[in-house]
Amino acid sequence: MPPVSRIDAKDRAILYNLDKNARQSNSAIARKTRLSKEVVNYRIKNLIANKIINGFFPIVNSSKLGYVIYRVFIRFQNVDIEKEKEIIEFLRNLDQVTNTVVLDERYDLAIFIWAKDVFRFKEIFEQIITAQGRFFQECFVTAITNRHFFLHNHLFGTTDLNERIIGGHFEETSLDKTDFSILCYLFKDARTPLLNIAKKINVSPNTVKQRIKQMEEKKVIVGYRADINSSQLGYQHYKIFLHLVDVSPEVKSRLKEYLKLNPPVIAITEAVGRADLEFQIQVKNSLELRQHLGKLRTYCGDLIRYYRTTQINREYNMKCIAENCLKNF
């Protein structure tokens, strides 16, 4: 684990506001935190320099763009450190692979593939297997139906139940070249000023403002977040796969409500595949993880057959799928 960075109450207040809405201005954050704009600006730069913040991203709803998110979990064989780096670099260079996550324990890697349909996914998957399959001992595929993102309340000492949801019923929204161009710049830095985006794509700042507003109203963009590197603050990141006694909506709803009210839980995923429900949790150590899982069994043990855990060691920055969409114009 990297050396632990220290943050104070002012940093936490700034991080909380960036986690809730990374696109808000430094002036807005200054008003909410009762700090000067200059102090906010200085501290955000420090948080980035100290690798506590890796970047700022829009939360984009895949189903509104006409995509299904598939995940491939991979277990390596006959792979040394250099070969692992080579495989990861190969995967990250594929257009449709948006996320690459390094895992521990049973699986070594998980990749996220955005595809318009199962046939396109099959083409990408077979391309990967053809190129690197001899180094895979095992892999399995899941398709994400929805994901719930929560604030990092455990880092801030807050109890804000703000929730951003992506996925759901497939409902493609009509976007044009200007929309996708704006999304590309937001993915590079969600805090990019309107004027800067406007200059890059040769439109007026008001056009950029209106297009972003329309994408928010259509739920293409459901929020903006800071990519907070919790490992720099001494936290470990785990994914928990729950296998349930009953997969009815009522049972899942009860579990989701319980998880939502537990601050270390930062995301819940529903997918077709290996597990019935998944969640991500950030804790100081394995003892704290066991304590949270013990509470889960106490309150919801009658709903759970068993669970599996895996540690997330590293998550590479998300790639912008909008760049692929621009190729169609």
Q: Is the pTM of this model over 0.75?
A: yes
Question: What pLDDT score was predicted for residue 141?
Answer: 96
Beta-carbon contacts of residue 150 (< 8 Å; ≥ 6 apart): 161, 162, 163, 260, 265, 266, 267, 268
pLDDT digits (tens, 9 = 90+) for 223-263: 999 999 999 999 999 999 999 999 999 999 999 999 999 98
What Cα–Cα distance (Å) separates residue 73 from each residue in 64, 137, 139, 195, 278?
A: 25, 11, 5, 41, 14
**Is residue 322 over pLDDT 80?**
no
Question: What pLDDT score was predicted for residue 2?
Answer: 52
Tell me how far apart the alpha carbons of residues 72 and 132 are, in angstroms, rounded to a whole number.
13
Question: What pLDDT score was predicted for residue 139?
Answer: 94
Question: What pLDDT score was predicted for residue 258?
Answer: 95
Strand, helix or coil for residue 170 = coil
**Is residue 3 over pLDDT 60?**
no
Q: Where are the alpha helices (DSSP H) in 133-202?
A: 153-156, 177-188, 194-201
What Cα–Cα distance (Å) separates residue 118 from each residue in 28, 64, 68, 82, 270?
A: 44, 17, 8, 32, 18
pLDDT digits (tens, 9 = 90+) for 112-121: 999 999 999 9
Task: Compute the average pLDDT of residues 43-55.
Answer: 96
pLDDT above 70 covers a percentage of the chain that reads 98
Beta strands 136-150 and 236-244 are: unpaired
Beta-carbon contacts of residue 281 (< 8 Å; ≥ 6 apart): 237, 238, 240, 262, 264, 265, 266, 289, 292
What Cα–Cα distance (Å) separates residue 195 from each residue in 69, 180, 204, 219?
A: 32, 17, 8, 23
Strand, helix or coil for residue 44 = helix
